[in-house]
Structure 1
Amino acid sequence: MRVPSKSLTVWIIPLLCLLFVGSAVFKAFRPSAEFDFKNFGSLPVVANGRVQPLDSLARNALLSIQAKQRVPGDTAPASPSTWLAELAFQPEVADTRKIFLIHHDEILGLTDFTRADGKSFSHAQLEPSFPALEKEAKRVSQLEPKTWSPYEKALMRLTRNLRLYNQLKNALAMPDTTQMEAELALFLGAVDTAIAEAEKKNQGADFNQQAIDRASGRMREILHWAPLTEIYTTPSGSGQDGWRKLADSVIDAIDAGGPHPATLAYARLGDAYRTKDIAAFNAAVNAYRAWLTENRPTEINKGAAESLFNRIAPFYLCMVLYVIAFLTAIVSWLRPEGCLRRSAFRVLALGLLLHTIGLITRMCLEGRPPVTNLYSSAVFIGWGAIVLSAVIEIFHRNAIGTAVASVIGFATLLIAHHLSLSGDTLEMMRAVLDTNFWLATHVVVITLGYSATFLAGTLAIVFLLRRIFGGMPKSTVVSLRGMVYGVICFATLASFVGTVLGGIWADQSWGRFWGWDPKENGALLIVIWNAIILHARWGGMIRERGMMVMAIFGNIVTSWSWFGTNMLGIGLHSYGFTDAAFVWLSAFILSQLIIMAAGFIPVKR
């Protein structure tokens, strides 16, 4: 039986996209060729107040230091976990990697370099300048952070990244040690000998003072090592509070009669890595994972799941799919038979499925509802807008819903990516948000209101741009009018319910329903503005074009409530401030004002 060519056309692009996603998933599951850095990266530690795998620790550090998850250079480590192993076990090599970005000439003035030397520098290159950098950072730290200049902010960011780098360097291995397992044995033997000699001394018998001094010297070295990191590697007790730093676990081995399995594992990993003994390295990883599976199954399963999630990078794959869906939808307007329109929608559906899996995975890893910080709010706003757009596309079938969903999905995930540069996106919850019920009701509902308002504004932008540049048939005008009107109705309801739920939460948390906090005012402005649009439409004060212009202004109101209120630095909700957001928020508002002004340009019918 012959398959119609149109049916093949409908499925070619979605199948190619599915193949692209499948290849990324296969690559994430594929075992490591030599050193088992994938399983090494899944080993759990406690950092930033939560259990996370070494892979996440390395990725977040690289994002903070250089805004990328890959180390530059032809001979650079192939993955973040590989880089972390090099940094911990062969720091003299890692110190030569140019990963520290310096954009300010004033900061370069504190070093021996000039702009001609480039923008990226290694730890070894910057080391001679550490005294000057620390002196200047100490001066800046005494100033109010709100008064910092761009130079001072960049300086503090550089010094923070240098501290983070040194914490990672000292987290998994003893400094200046090439054979840690042997060093552990020597240390424990020296301590046992020193204890025996001390007993002789107390009894008045002959004793060996050198043995006591030798053990004291080794103890001082370990005590000096402990404050160099805040990363906890050894699960010696129950819960997160039961984890110990590697240096502390070495000292604990004195009373325990031997090193902890985690301590021994990292010692063997380091020794094998330095000698390029692949078999010994992989054996140490597998032995420690087996111990964790038996004794700490929750932590090792979480570490493995989060490490796999990082390697698949579902939100990055979604961004690619949304771009393809958008381009296919645009081309479909030139070919009215509908094949490309259906292809675009199927690609969007694949992206939405991947987006949903990513959201659910983050919820399971964090044990929280989908919105807990600015990063997750960006991911969820995009998801909510895509779901609403998909419903619109199912009813109208004109590729407008697909195109708008793709734009919003890509834009919000791009925003989320830039928000991730500030650090761990699965961070420990702030006390004011540490209530799952209200996170699942107030925060989710109000965020859906954000999604719907942005969707209405984006549909309105499509209306105005097509009106100016391409003209529209009456059927398209009617469709867009119905889309925007329906979405605004939903946005009004979600924003209102979410604001009321927020007031109830505030009453239970702070003893007042409403306090005119900037974030509360921003949420109220969204409700009021959407209600104004509806009343103006019902009252006949505006028609299609007026409703579209007002809907675009809703983007400005919502963006201010989402980001702008956090930048004020006042109120109980100022917990998500980011410097870079001010410039981008200003640019976004300006772009919306320009499009609104373009809506008043007279166009011949």
Structure 2
Amino acid sequence: MTPLDGFKAAQARPTTLDPTVWLLEVLAKPDTADTRRVFPIKSRELLGKLQLQAPARGTNYYAFTGLRLKSSEINKQAQKIASVKPADRAAWQEELIALRDKLILYERLKNSLLPNTRLQQDASGKAMAFDFAGELARYQADLAEALRVDAARRSGSPERLGVEAEVRIRTFSRLFQAVSRTGMLAVVPRPNMTGSSSDWSNLGSVVVQSTLGHQPSAPVAFFAGMSSAFAQGKPDAFNSQVAQYRQWLAANGPAPLMRKASLEAFSNLLLPLVRAAILYAGALVLVLVAWRTRSATVYRSALMLAVLASMLHVTGLVFATILAGTPSWIAFLGWTVGLTAGLTALVVERFRRGGIGTLATAAIGLVALVAAYLVAPGGAASLVWNVLEASLLAAIGATVFVLFVSRESRTARSSDLAPQAALESPAG
């Protein structure tokens, strides 16, 4: 969990939202998250089937608030499409099935920390006002009293738990039964962690199981504190809960698992394989520009881009292997391609300059990366999306343009300064 500065993160474009902030909104501020336009619909025929108006500002993204009203029609159409063979489906039918699946995933994600769908229904259209931290604290107090009374009764005491406390315990645990059934995220670490993915529990399950006679584990309180702080717009309180949770993890969680999580977060931020693909493509473009302009500067830039891309290529595969836990033949092949590509560029260009080695390096590396993404499920779409979102692509394009214009300007200036042949005047 990353501390936030006022819940505002740098945005690549005015129409984008930082993924961390969006996820926090989905989990803790669903009323706001439901208004975000995150569901793309491209098919005009599908828009007509669902009777949706064109979105504002010329985008093709829609918010959950509008699509929720069309849920019955979406499910009705999906049932009809289910009887059609996938090969015979029209483009709008495939998009509708994908839209339905996205809506289901969104609902599950929204109910992974809190029973937000139920809480929104109880609010009856008003702003949801559920203080998770406060409600959990009262639940823990009631549960502690229930455990004390139960222990006393086992010793022969006639004392009974108050009706109000009993109702509050049942109501709170019943709310989180929905989270235990539909929540997608397992965020609560179990005792005696071993470092596997099975070491994490669904928060709703932890709350429900606590009614059997024990308090929820400490991470539940940390997540409740973070949720309430974010919902109430208190970044200092949020960051304080994050810091305390990190300290708890450092003391109670296995160090290798925490290092792996940090590496995964860094890898997701760096995107080394995506940036390597962009640099390979940029090197290809620069080689062609260098051949066209015969510019030594552009040629050297292409070589450096190819070498840097090879380094990122290998770095990304090392990260992927560490995160996967076991090396694979695909990773080994990728390392070989990345290292060979970089060395080829340096060796070939050292003895025979001209861009052939750089061109071969960039082409081989780019093809290898694209092929690897095509093999992975959803990899092609992920690669295209990340490449289009990468500001590095625009920077490379701007660099190529500036180098080309600069070269043309120098050529024109040289032509202007070249000595002109003197004209001979006729003899008088």
For 1:511, the equivalent position in structure 2 comes to none
For 1:217, the equivalent position in structure 2 comes to 171
Task: State TM-score, norm by structure 1.
Answer: 0.51
1:371–1:145 CA distance, 2 compared to 1 (3 A): farther
Q: Quote the Cα distance in structure 2 between the aligned partners of 1:424 and 1:240.
A: 26
Q: Is the 8 A contact 1:360 1:370 kept in 2?
A: no
For 1:232, the equivalent position in structure 2 comes to 186
Q: Is the 8 A contact 2:50 2:70 kept in 1?
A: yes
State which of 117, 123, 136 in structure 2 corresponds to 1:184.
136
Q: Quote the Cα distance in structure 2 between the aligned partners of 1:37 and 1:89.
A: 17
Deviation at 1:285, TM superposition (A): 0.9
For 1:383, the equivalent position in structure 2 comes to 338
Structure 1 residue identity aligned to 2:341:
I
State which of 367, 378, 382 in structure 2 corresponds to 1:422.
378
Structure 2 residue identity aligned to 1:282:
N
Moved more, 160-169 or 95-104: 160-169
State which of 303, 315, 318 in structure 2 corresponds to 1:360.
318
2:209 aligned with 1:270: no
1:423–1:204 CA distance, 2 compared to 1 (3 A): farther
State which of 60, 63, 79 in structure 2 corresponds to 1:122.
63
1:145–1:92 CA distance, 2 compared to 1 (3 A): same
1:416–1:110 CA distance, 2 compared to 1 (3 A): farther
Q: How many residues align?
A: 360
2:89 aligned with 1:89: no
Matching of residues 180-579 of structure 1 within 5 Å? 180-191=132-143, 196=149, 209=163, 211-237=165-191, 238=193, 239-254=196-211, 257-296=214-253, 297-333=255-291, 340-369=298-327, 383=338, 386-387=341-342, 389-390=344-345, 392-394=348-350, 396-410=352-366, 413=369, 422=378
2:62 aligned with 1:133: no
Q: Is the 8 A contact 2:115 2:178 kept in 1?
A: no
1:193–1:394 CA distance, 2 compared to 1 (3 A): same
Give the gaps of 5 or more residues in structure 1: 1-29, 39-69, 427-605
1:272–1:386 CA distance, 2 compared to 1 (3 A): same
Moved more, 318-327 or 276-285: 318-327
Q: Quote the Cα distance in structure 1 between the aligned partners of 2:266 and 2:14.
A: 25
State which of 102, 106, 111 in structure 2 corresponds to 1:165.
106
- The one-character-per-residue Cα deviations of 1:311-358 (angstroms, maximum 9, x if unpaired) are 122233324433442343234435769665444323311221122111
2:40 aligned with 1:98: no
Q: Quote the Cα distance in structure 1 between the aligned partners of 2:100 and 2:371.
A: 25
Deviation at 1:115, TM superposition (A): 4.5
Deviation at 1:291, TM superposition (A): 1.6
Q: Is the 8 A contact 1:362 1:370 kept in 2?
A: no
Q: Is the 8 A contact 1:173 1:266 kept in 2?
A: no
Q: Quote the Cα distance in structure 1 between the aligned partners of 2:105 and 2:12.
A: 16
Percent identity among equivalent residues? 24
Give the gaps of 5 or more residues in structure 2: 120-128, 383-428
CA RMSD of aligned residues (A): 4.0
1:344–1:108 CA distance, 2 compared to 1 (3 A): closer
Deviation at 1:240, TM superposition (A): 2.3
Q: Quote the Cα distance in structure 2 between the aligned partners of 1:369 and 1:377.
A: 7
Q: Quote the Cα distance in structure 1 between the aligned partners of 2:152 and 2:83.
A: 50
Q: Quote the Cα distance in structure 2 between the aligned partners of 1:383 and 1:300.
A: 28
Structure 2 residue identity aligned to 1:386:
A
Q: Quote the Cα distance in structure 2 between the aligned partners of 1:378 and 1:174.
A: 46
2:104 aligned with 1:152: no
Deviation at 1:109, TM superposition (A): 3.4
Q: Quote the Cα distance in structure 2 between the aligned partners of 1:343 and 1:218.
A: 62
1:140–1:340 CA distance, 2 compared to 1 (3 A): closer
Q: Quote the Cα distance in structure 1 between the aligned partners of 2:76 and 2:270.
A: 42
Q: Is the 8 A contact 1:137 1:156 kept in 2?
A: yes
Q: Quote the Cα distance in structure 2 between the aligned partners of 1:317 and 1:207.
A: 61
Q: Is the 8 A contact 1:371 1:380 kept in 2?
A: no
Deviation at 1:263, TM superposition (A): 1.0
Residue 109 of structure 1 aligns to a residue in which SS?
helix
Q: Is the 8 A contact 2:311 2:338 kept in 1?
A: no
Q: Is the 8 A contact 2:37 2:63 kept in 1?
A: yes
Structure 2 residue identity aligned to 1:124:
T
